[in-house]
Structures are given as C-alpha cells and as structure tokens.
Chains A and B, each alone.
Chain A
Amino acid sequence: MRTIKTWWLVAAFVSGFGLAMWAEDLALRWRNNLLEFSAPHMHFLTGKQLERLHNGAQVPFDLKVSLYSGTKDHLCCQLAERFLVSYSVWEEQFRVIKTQSPRQVVDHLDAADAEAWCLKQMPLAPSGIGETEKFWARVEVRVPPLDGKTSNPFGRESISESGINLTGLIDLFSRPPAATQFHTMSEAGPWTLEEIKRGSRRGS
C-alpha cells in the first residue's frame, strides 16, 4: 500500500486552514428575517485611528454593508451607518455610539467586541433576492478625513439638522476614498439564502 507522504498532509492542512481563515473573513447569519454581518478578521480599530483613540480623541467610523445578487456588479441592497468611538484612558475600554435612529450606546468593550458590535447593528433585509439566487456581500469601513477644523462627527451639518442621514452616508461611500483617508473592505460569496438559513439553523 502506498503511504501518503507527510508533506502532503501538512500542505492539505495548511491550505484547508488558510481556506477556512479566508472563508471566515466575512460571515453572514440569518436572524429575525435579516442578514447579520460579522467579519472577525477585518479590523478597523487599528493604526492611526487607534493611536488617536488612545490619545483621548473621539473618532467617527462610517460603515456600509452591501449585497450583490446575480452578478458581483448588481447592487441589490445596502445600508450605511456612522459610529462614534472613544476610548477611556482610565478604564482602557471603548465606548461606541450608533448615531442614526434608533441611537444606541455601548460601553466597556475591547477592540474586537467594539468592531463586532458595530457590524451587529447593521442587519440587512435581503429584499429582491430569491432563496436559491447567488449573492455576494461586502463590508466597507471609512474614517472621515480630518479637515484641520474641529470635526463634527455627525457630518458637515449641524446636529440639529438631524445629523448625517443615510443618503449622506451612501453619498460619502459613492466617492473614492481620499489618499489620506483610512478605508478597508471585505467581500465574500457567493451564497444562497437557502445555504445561509440552513447554516444559521445548524449554528443556533
């Protein structure tokens, strides 16, 4: 009997592990007739943003989740949200505020939990996607560029003008990010709703 060489086993394990890691880059879960996003390997509380947070500043993060059905170019539905993040220099934990209605605030989170909480606040209804239709998902995160003035994390308008709205945020994401602006993106698929629902039932 032919024996399997050890290095084949190692290669299979490494590629399988790598694939699994990649597959987990962006995950979807079916809950309450909505798709919940999670991206455990996509980090935005890092680098200069984290440095600013550790220095006591409050940093706004704009997040957008999108679904593409049929082909990767056909945008089906999307949702954008702005989160205000600050880091307590004494407690060494994050506070995150979801700025659009319903506004929510959460305290005492570590970086990974703060990132996960933001995505959890953005469940998306897959309207227009059939049960067996292929679709792709994308998550984008941007930090509005500092313009040298006191930045209003609610946007250029006064808070009294109902803060930055969904249209404003979508408009922000429709422009390419500035060279100095932090941005990161993760996309995955294709899936079908049937697969996601089945997977969510197994997981729960």
Chain B
Amino acid sequence: MNKLLLAAILCSVPLAGCDVKDDEKALQELNVNAKYTVESVQVSGQKNWRISEALRKEVDKMVGSKLDYPALDRLADRIKKELHVPAVSVNIGKGTVPDNVVVNFEVPKSHEQPAELHVAKFLYDSKLGWSGEGDASTTIKSNKFTFGLVSDSDAMLERFSGIKAKFERRHVGTDRVHLRFEFDSYHEQWNQATLLASDQPGIYRSMQVFTPEATLVIAAPLELDFGTSFSRFRPEQPGAKIESSNAVVSTLRYHQRWGSKNDIDEQELNASYSMRAGIRAFETDNDFTRQMAQARYRFRRDHNSVEIGFLAGEINGNAPLFEKFVAGNASVLRGWNKFDLDPLGGSHIVHGSIDYAYHWLQVFYDTGAIWDVAQEREQKQSVGAGFKENGFQVAVAFPIRSGRIEPIFYAGLNF
C-alpha cells in the first residue's frame, strides 16, 4: 500500500496546476520518515530563554501527527527568529514505541554562539540628517559582551556620537535575575536653536555614563529593572568644572504577545513605567525625579494592522538636558521639528499615536503636547504616510497647523 502511495506521489510530481503547498506535501511524503508518528517534541539547548506561548502551541501541535519535515524546518526558523539565535537544528530520534519518533529542536548553547552584528537604528530625517547605531556582540559562557557605535540626532535634543560597551549576564544564581553593566561615552553637537534658547548654561560637549543594572523577572513577562546611572558631563563653557548627574533608575516592564506572524490574528502589548531620581546621597549636581509611562498595543488581522501608542512623562526638579523629553522626532509627533516645538526639551509630555497598515502601506496620526509650565501647553497634531516592510520604513509626515507646512521625510531601519 505504501509503495502504491509513493508511486502515486511520484507520478503526481510533474502534474501541472499544483501550488507550492502541494509541492511541500509531495516532498514531505518522499522522505522515508514521513510514515512515522511524532511522539513528543522538545526544544533544548540554552537555559535562559523561553519561546512564546503561541509558538509553543504550534510546536505541540506536531505531537500525534505524521512527521512533516518541511513543517519542522519552518518551526525551527520561527524559533530561531524569536530567540534571536544564529541557528536551530531539527533532530529526529526513535520514540519509545516502534514507528514513533521524538523531535528535538536544538538551540545552540549561548557560549557556542558566534559573534553577532546588529543594526539597532538607521535613520535619515530630512531636517536632522543621518542617525545610526550598530553593535557587535559575542557570548562566552552566559556572559554577553557588546560593543557599539552610535551617532544619533533623533532621540535627544543634541546629536550624540560615541561608543557603547556592555557586559550582560543572564543568569545570576537563578534565571530570574540578570545583571548588566554599560559604559557609554559621547561627544555632543548642538543645534543653533538650542544654543540660542539656552544661553549656554546646561550645554555640555561630552558625556560619560556608567549604568550598573539588574533585572528581576517577577512573573514572566513582567520584569523589573533596577540600578543606578552615573553620568559625568563637561560643560561647554571654558574652565567650567565637570558636572555629575547620578540617579537611581528603575523600570517596570511588561511585554506580551498573542498569536504569531503565521496566524490570522496577532496581538502584541509593550508597556513600561520608569523612574529616575537624582539624589543628593549620590553626590549629584542635579536633584530631580523623572517619571515616564508608555504603552504600545498592536493588533493584526491578515494584512491589516493597527498600532496604538501612548506616552506620558513628568520631570520635577533640576534635570540635565539629556533627561528632558523630546517631541518632534521620528517617533513622537512625527512631522514636527523638535526645535520648533521646544528647543530645550520639555519637563512634561503627553503623546498618543495611531498607525494603520495594509500590507506594506502605512498611514499614521500623532497628537500630543510638550511643555514646562502649564500655560505653554498646546496640543499639536500630525499625519503621515509611507511604506513599511521588515523593519525598513519610508515615510513622509506633515504637521497639522495653519500657515506654511513643510513635510519631513524619514527613511531607514528600526526607528
């Protein structure tokens, strides 16, 4: 009977009108192991990872069905993407009873992973120019070492350029505690609008930041980061002494995903609340507290996706310029120029956005306000459209206002 089935498959191979799925079905059955039943499936290798619930369900679905190697290959590819590992291999072994097999997706152990290169951000903004951030990392026995270069005119008020070096350990006694130390050193370039508005005080030309931080996995996917941040910056004025801004930092973070790219519906929620407090006990020159809450929710059905974002923040006290909120960049009030909105940054911010995408076509609407004193608070709005595919995005955004409107053009990766 099996021979007849195989003969039928072989004869059906050249038939016209088959689609790719038919091809895969035929290929699956050409594999001699396709006659065996999957007894169990496991994912093994590293200790410090967890695949999403949706992917786990997909993996578990294989149990009880006939071995479908192309489908296992696709699952291995998804695990690889989700865990950001260079490779995941599929191993088939004998089951506990004849004609049953066990499937093992093997993730290489972290110390076996080769060096990785990563482009964290690459952006062209027609008003602010180029921004880019990239890093190289390698993992040696659960210790991850990262070295990166950055030149960014988008995220903060000034363009900051320099190096980042980071050490991470994702297992400190338990998988629930991670530890990292980051050292950053930047040189700053200021826009004329900021220099005119500030009249020099607060402007610095270089900065070094050292951040020792720990992460506690409270109940996955709820995590708490806590640590300290020691910043030293050299003011622009000749002869001025180096200043320090040392703060206690903590972030409560939640990230959950329902469904996956291969499902009809997919949802994702990212939410966080962070607090930074510059306290006298750390011999800081800046006494302040900075609080920020943000959330992004994304829902996708087939090729339609909607993403809603929210951000609110408040600074009390005397915060350095690099702690100030910024609006009018590639993520907050897109289409506005940050130097028109507030060239010195704001101590209060509220922002909401909604993005709709069909396939790679995208439209968005942003609204929000940035201010220091309540009388300055004014709602701003912007709209835009563009193309987005696999992290690459091209968009044009317009501020909604009376008078002359100058669109801003954005292009790049992961911004």
Contact = CB atoms under 8 A, between A and B. Distances in A.
Contacts of B73: 150-151
Interface stretch (B28-36, B316-324, B347-355, B360-368): B28-36
Contacts of B36: 89-90
Contacts of B99: 90
Given A105-B10, A160-B23, A90 B94 contact: yes
Contacts of A160: 14-19, 22-23
B93 A89 contact: yes
A107 interface: yes
Interface in A76-130: 84, 86-91, 94-95, 97, 99, 101, 103, 105, 107
A159 B14 contact: yes
Interface string B87-127: 00111111000110101000000000000000000000000
Interface in A129-163: 148-154, 158-160, 162-163
B6 interface: yes
A70 interface: no
A57 B69 contact: yes
B101 A150 contact: no
Interface string B299-319: 000000000000000000000
B268 interface: no
B411 interface: no
A158 B92 contact: no
B219 interface: no
B32 A158 contact: no
B13 interface: yes
Contacts of A103: 10, 13
Given A58-B69, A89-B94, A154 B10 contact: no
Interface string B1-45: 000001000100111111110111011001111001000000000
A149 B31 CA distance: 18
A87 B31 CA distance: 8
A33 interface: no
Dominant secondary structure at the A interface = loop
B13 A89 contact: no
B98 A90 contact: yes
A57 B30 contact: no
Contact of A97 (B10, B70, B77): B10
B67 A56 contact: yes
Contacts of A57: 31, 69, 90
B401 interface: no
A160 B32 CA distance: 22
A55 interface: yes
Q: Which of A94, A153, A158 has the most CB of B within 10 A?
A: A158
B74 interface: yes
Contacts of A56: 31, 33, 67, 69, 90-92, 101, 103
A58 B90 contact: no
Q: Which of A86, A87, A89, A153 has the most CB of B within 10 A?
A: A89
Contacts of B19: 158, 160
A99 B30 CA distance: 11
Given A88-B33, A154-B23, A55 B91 contact: yes
Nearest to B104: A55
Interface string A48-91: 00000001111000000000000000000000000010111111
A86 B35 CA distance: 12
Nearest to A153: B27
Given A58-B30, A89-B92, A162 B14 contact: yes
A135 B383 CA distance: 74
Given A89-B101, A158-B23, A58 B31 contact: yes
Nearest to A101: B14
Nearest to A160: B18
A95 B274 CA distance: 59
Contacts of A95: 31-32
A159 B29 CA distance: 14
A86 B27 CA distance: 11
Given A150-B24, A152-B23, A159 B30 contact: no
Interface string B159-190: 00000000000000000000000000000000
Contacts of A105: 6, 10
Contacts of A148: 77
A162 B16 CA distance: 8
Contacts of A97: 10, 30
Q: Which of A57, A91, A95, A162 has the most CB of B within 10 A?
A: A57
A10 B17 CA distance: 66
A177 to B, nearest CB: 21
A95 B46 CA distance: 34
B287 to A, nearest CB: 53
Contacts of A163: 13-14
B32 A107 contact: yes
Contact of B89 (A55, A86, A151): A55
Contact of A158 (B10, B20, B70, B93): B20
Given A55-B89, A99-B13, A152-B23, 10 more contacts: A55-B92, A86-B30, A86-B31, A87-B33, A94-B32, A103-B10, A103-B13, A150-B77, A153-B27, A154-B27
Interface of A: 55-58, 84, 86-91, 94-95, 97, 99, 101, 103, 105, 107, 148-154, 158-160, 162-163
7 contacts: A56-B31, A58-B27, A58-B30, A154-B23, A158-B19, A159-B27, A160-B19
The 3 closest A-B pairs by CB, nearest first: A56-B92, A95-B32, A160-B18
